[in-house]
Structure 1
C-alpha cells in the first residue's frame, strides 16, 4: 500500500514546491495517513458498495439502477466477454455516449483484467478505425445511433463481434415509450457477427468468472485526447490512476455522503468522464444522474430537476446556468456542495460573476475550480472545501505532486516564478497507445527519478501551493517584434465588463508584417446590451489596463461562441473564421 504520509511537507519554505509540498497543510491527518488502495476498478467499487447493494448507483431517465444491479450486470458482462474469448491484457472498443451499458462493460472487462478503449461516436470513421486497429480489439460495443455513420468502416474491419447497445435499453418504460414515439431507434441489422446487448448478456447467463487481482501499472482504459491541435492520441489509464483520483476526492475536504446526487454530463469516452464522473462518484457511493447527450441550453432545467449535491461542468456551462430561465427569481441552489469547474480557463470577470450568482442563490461554497488533463487521469488540483483564491485552479490533490519548471528543462522554479506546469503521481498515464514518440514529448523522467507529465501550460505557484494558470504555451501569441501576449490577461480585462457574457482571444496572421501574429478578441454580449456602447467601454478599459503591445488588434462581437465537443471554446474555429471577420470593420 502506498502511504500518502511519505509526501508530508518539509516545513522548509526555501525548498522547492515539489519537495516542500506546502499544500499538504490543507489536508487532515487521516488524509495524510491514507493509503492508495491496491485494487482494480472493479474491486474498488465492489468493496465500497457490496454492503449497500440497495442504494441507487445510476439514475437514468427515470430508471434507478441499484449498486446491486450494477455489480451483478458487470459480473454477467465479465462472463459474456469471457465466452467471446476476452482475457487479461485484451482491449475491447466501446464507441458510445455515456449510457449504463458502458459502465457495466467497463467493470466487466476490468474484472477480467481487460481494458476498454472508449471512443467518441462523433469522430470520423477513419479516426475510429485507426484506434480499433491500433488497440488490437476484435470486439466492439457500438451505439445504435452511430451505426449508419460507421457502417462502411465496419465492413473494413475484421471484428469477431459487434455488440449493439442503445440509449433506450435502460430507460424507464414510460420514458422509453415516449422517446420511441418521438424518435424511433435506428434499425440495425442483427445477425452474423452483429448481436444485440440482450443476446450478449445471454452468453454469460448462469456462468461466472473469477476476478483478476490487482497488479501495479496495469491498463484499465484508453481514452482519446481532444485532437484540436492535431491527430488525437490514445491515453492509457491505469487502475492506480482511476483510484488515485477517487481517493483524492474522498479526502479533499468536501463531505461526500452516500446517496448524494452527482450530475454527470461529461462524456465517458473522455478521461474526465470515465474517471472523475464515473469511477469517482461510484467509489463514493453517490447516485449518478447519467445524461448521455448533454445540451448546454438545458443545464438549468437539469439542475432544477435533480438538485445535485455535486457536479463537474466547464465554464461555458456555468454561463448557460447563470443565464437560464430556471435560475431567475432567485432559485435556491443551497443543495450545491460542489460546483466543480475545469476543462477551460476562466477569466476574472466570469469568476466574479459566477461566485456572485452562487451566493445570491444560496450556495454556501464558492466555485470549485480545478485543473488537470487527460494524461493525469483527469484532475490534478482543486479549490476544495472553501479554500479559495481568485483566479487560482486550486492546490494539488492529495496523491498528486505539481511543480513549475523552466520550459524545456528539468529546472524547477521558485514560488511566484512563471514556467511550465508539470505533474507527477499515481494518476499519471502509462503513456500514449502505440505512440512512444508523442509519449516522450510530454513525459520525462527527471534527475531525481520522478516521472513528470509536462502539461504545455504556463503558470506559477504561490507559497501556499495555489496554482495560477497563465495560458497554454500553444495559445501564447508572439507578435512580429517578439513580444508575447497571453490571451487570459486580455480575457480577464474584457470579462470584467458587466455586459460581456463570454470572451476569447486567439492569434491570427499579421498581414502588416512579414512574421508574427496579432491578437483577435471575440466577445459575446449579454442579451439587450448595446454593442456600440460596450465597444467604447472595452476600448477605454483596455487602454487603461493593458500595455500597448498587449492589446488586441481586432475586436469582434458574435451571437454564440463556437464550442468543441467537450464544451470548451473552439479556439481553432475562431481563428479559422477570421477571414470573414477581417472583411468587417473590427479594428480596435
Structure 2
C-alpha cells in the first residue's frame, strides 16, 4: 500500500504547517526543565487563586522525584497518579518522569474492582491519590504490589483563607470527612516535598524506546489494557499540535485545562501542550459551567481544549451572555462527534474558532484534525497531522478503499504506541504491516478529508469517556437476579451517547429498576452505570445463542424515528 498511498490532504496544508517535522530526541520532562531555566519567572499555572511559575513547578517536581527515589522508585518502575486536575497532578507527572519511572494515569472515579485490576496489571509500586479516594485505594492495597501511597487534597494548593474554608465545603458537598493515618507506607504529599531537596539527577532515557506512560483503555473484550506510550510518542503528538495551531501567539497563550489530565486527550492538548509552549494553564478540578465562564473572563483564556458536552453546557448556561468570552481564539474539540449547531453557536458566542479532531489512546491520542483557519467540511474529522499517514481499507479484500468507499480507518505515525503492556498477542492483532487498525469505520473523500460513520467496536462514548459494554455486562451478570444482560449506547443530547441495559431476570426473581440502578452505581464508575434500563422476557439471538446487540441498536433507532414522525389525526 505504501507505494500507492495517495496523500491528497497535503494540498490543503497552509504554508505555515510543515508536511514533515524534525522532532527533538529528548525526554518529555526536559521541556519543563528548559522552561524553568529559560523563563523561570513566567507563570506556568493558575489554580483557584494560586499561581506558580515554571521555576516553582520544576522545583516541586524535582523535590517529588527525590521523594520517590527515597521510596525506592527507579527507572522503569510504574507510579500511579489518581488525581483530579490540580497542581499536584502536574508535579507528580513530571516528578515521576524525572526519575525515569513510568506514569500510570488512573481515573479518580474508578471503583475498587477497576482500581484493583489496573494496579495488578501495571504492577505500580507507588500511588499518588486524592484524600477523598484514599479509602478505595486502602481497600485494594493488599491485593496489589503497591508499596507506598502519597496522599494530597485540593486544599493543599489553595491560597489563604480558601485552604482553611475548603475542608468544610468539601465535607458539606461530599458528606466525607477526610481522616487519614499517616505511617511508613502512607505519606502526605506536602511533607514529601518539604523533606526532599530539588536535586537534578541525570537519568539516561532513550526517547523512542523508553516508556513515559501507561494509559489504560478497553477493547472489544472489555478488558482494560495498558497502552505503552514512549517519550517520543508524547513529544511528537504535542509538537504536532503546536505546529497545527500555527497562528497562536506561542509562549503567551492562556490554556483552559478542564479536560482531565488522567485522560490522554487532556494530558496532551492541555498539560503537555502548555508546558512545551511555555504558556499558562488555568487548571480546573471539575467542569462547572459557572466556574468555567468566570475563569475564561477573569484569566482571559485564549485556548480551550474540550469535549462537545462542555461546549453544549456553556452555550446553554442561562447566564452565558453576562460573561466576556472574547479572549477565546482556539477551541480543540475531541472525544466525541461535534454537532455542527454547537460549533456554530459557540463560535458566534466567543468569536473564536472551534474545530473537531479525531484520535485514540493508542495514538497519544491525535491523528486527524480540521484546520483552525481554513476549510472545515461539515461532519469531517479533518486531515491527518504532519508525518501521519491514514487510509481506509476494504474489510473483505484488505485493499485500500476508493474515495467515498466505507472501510476501516488505519493510521501510522510517530505518535502511534509501542504496543499493549504485557499483551503481545493483542498488540499483534491491531498492527498490520506497520499500520494501526483503529476499529473505526469511515471513508476519505476525493479531497483527502476523513469521516467516521460507525465503530467496528461496540464501544460507547459518553461525555468523552470510553465505555466498553462487556465490562458493564459482566457487572450485571454478577447480580443474583439477572439471567441475561446486554448493553448498548443510545443517543443523548448532552453526553453524545448514554448507556442502556436490557435485562432478563431469572425465573421467580424480582428486581426493581431502582434496586438495579443502585447496584450498578455501587459496582461501576458513575459514567459507566446505565442511565436507562429495560426488562425483557428474552433477548434477540442468533441460532447459536449469541445475543444480537446490533438488533437492539437497530430497534432503538426505529423507535426514535417513529417518535419523530408526525402523527396523523383521525376525523
TM-score bracket for the superposition, by shorter chain length: 0.7 to 0.9
2:334 counterpart residue number: 342
**Structure 1: which 5+ runs fail to align?**
1-9, 477-486, 489-505, 507-516, 526-563
Indicate which of 392, 406, 416 corresponds to 2:404: 416
Deviation sequence 1:401-459 (CA, Å, 0-9, x none): 221112376422222221111111111111122222332332x132xxxx222111111
1:249 counterpart residue number: 241
SS at match of 2:234: helix
Alignment of 1:69-84 (within 5 A): 69-84=56-71
Alignment of 1:518-529 (within 5 A): 524=493
| Partner Cα distance (1:432, 1:234) in 2 | 5
* 8 Å contact from structure 1 (residues 79, 203) kept in 2: no
Q: TM-score, normalised by structure 1?
A: 0.74
Q: Does 1:433 align with 2:421?
A: yes
1:461 counterpart residue number: 444
Indicate which of 109, 113, 116 corresponds to 1:129: 116
Change (3 A) 1:214 1:289: same
RMSD: 3.4
* 8 Å contact from structure 1 (residues 262, 281) kept in 2: yes
SS at match of 1:453: strand
2:530 counterpart residue number: 573
| Partner Cα distance (1:216, 1:523) in 2 | 41
SS at match of 2:26: coil
| Partner Cα distance (1:157, 1:521) in 2 | 36
| Partner Cα distance (1:135, 1:149) in 2 | 18
Deviation sequence 1:470-504 (CA, Å, 0-9, x none): 1212359xxxxxxxxxx99xxxxxxxxxxxxxxxx
1:473 counterpart residue number: 456
2:53 counterpart residue number: 66
Deviation sequence 1:373-394 (CA, Å, 0-9, x none): 1110021111123221111111
Change (3 A) 1:268 1:524: closer
Q: Does 1:390 align with 2:382?
A: no
Q: Does 1:146 align with 2:129?
A: no
* 8 Å contact from structure 1 (residues 372, 381) kept in 2: yes
* 8 Å contact from structure 1 (residues 245, 280) kept in 2: no
Q: CA deviation at 1:95?
A: 1.9
1:186 counterpart residue number: 178
Deviation sequence 1:104-129 (CA, Å, 0-9, x none): 12212212221111111221212212
Change (3 A) 1:523 1:430: closer
| Partner Cα distance (1:312, 1:232) in 2 | 26
* 8 Å contact from structure 1 (residues 457, 473) kept in 2: yes
Instruction: Identify which range, 199-208 or 217-226, moves more after superposition.
Output: 199-208
1:557 counterpart residue number: none
Q: Does 1:275 align with 2:268?
A: yes
2:303 counterpart residue number: 310
Alignment of 1:319-330 (within 5 A): 319-328=312-321
| Partner Cα distance (1:197, 1:523) in 2 | 40
Instruction: Identify which range, 170-179 or 241-250, moves more after superposition.
Output: 170-179
1:169 counterpart residue number: 156
Q: CA deviation at 1:186?
A: 0.8
Q: TM-score, normalised by structure 2?
A: 0.76
| Partner Cα distance (2:51, 2:112) in 1 | 34
Q: CA deviation at 1:157?
A: 3.6
Aligned pair count reads 484
* 8 Å contact from structure 2 (residues 112, 136) kept in 1: yes
Q: CA deviation at 1:258?
A: 1.6
| Partner Cα distance (1:392, 1:229) in 2 | 29
| Partner Cα distance (1:520, 1:25) in 2 | 35
Change (3 A) 1:154 1:362: closer
Indicate which of 212, 220, 223 corresponds to 1:220: 212
* 8 Å contact from structure 1 (residues 163, 197) kept in 2: yes
Deviation sequence 1:24-82 (CA, Å, 0-9, x none): 64143673453011110111333355311111111111111111111111112222222
